[in-house]
Amino acid sequence: MNDRRPHFFALCPAEPFRIFFPLATLLGISGVSLWPLFFAGLHKFYPGVMHSRLMIEGFLAGFVFGFLGTAMPRLLSAPSLRAW
């Protein structure tokens, strides 16, 4: 009996919104990592604006779009999101 779950990349063509979760995680890590790099002297610029844009437009928006792509079709009994 083969009860293995499908691989993440096998699910992405059927459910394209799933890619937002790992992308949001990467953007969140990069947005937070600006501060230690700045205080260690590896960045010469103040990362405040870049940090806020990465966290709001990347991290937060990625999880919002991923959640809405997952939950809204199920809550509304609508067809799921699909690629063009």
d(CA 52, CA 60) in angstroms, rounded, equals 10
Map out the domains of the chain as residue ranges.
16-76
Q: What pLDDT, on a 0 to 100 scale, did the predictor assign at position 25?
A: 93
Model confidence band, residue 66 (pLDDT cutoffs 50, 70, 90) = confident
d(CA 62, CA 13) in angstroms, rounded, equals 18
Q: What pLDDT, on a 0 to 100 scale, did the predictor assign at position 31?
A: 92
Residue 84 has pLDDT above 70, yes or no: no
- pLDDT tens per residue, range 1-57: 567 877 777 777 777 778 888 899 999 999 999 999 999 999 888 999 999 999 999
Q: What pLDDT, on a 0 to 100 scale, did the predictor assign at position 17?
A: 79
Residue 59 has pLDDT above 90, yes or no: yes
Compute the half-sphere exposure of residue 50: CA atoms within 13 Å on the CB side of its CA.
14
Query: What are the angstrom distances between the C-alpha of 4 and each of 7, 10, 17?
Result: 9, 13, 22
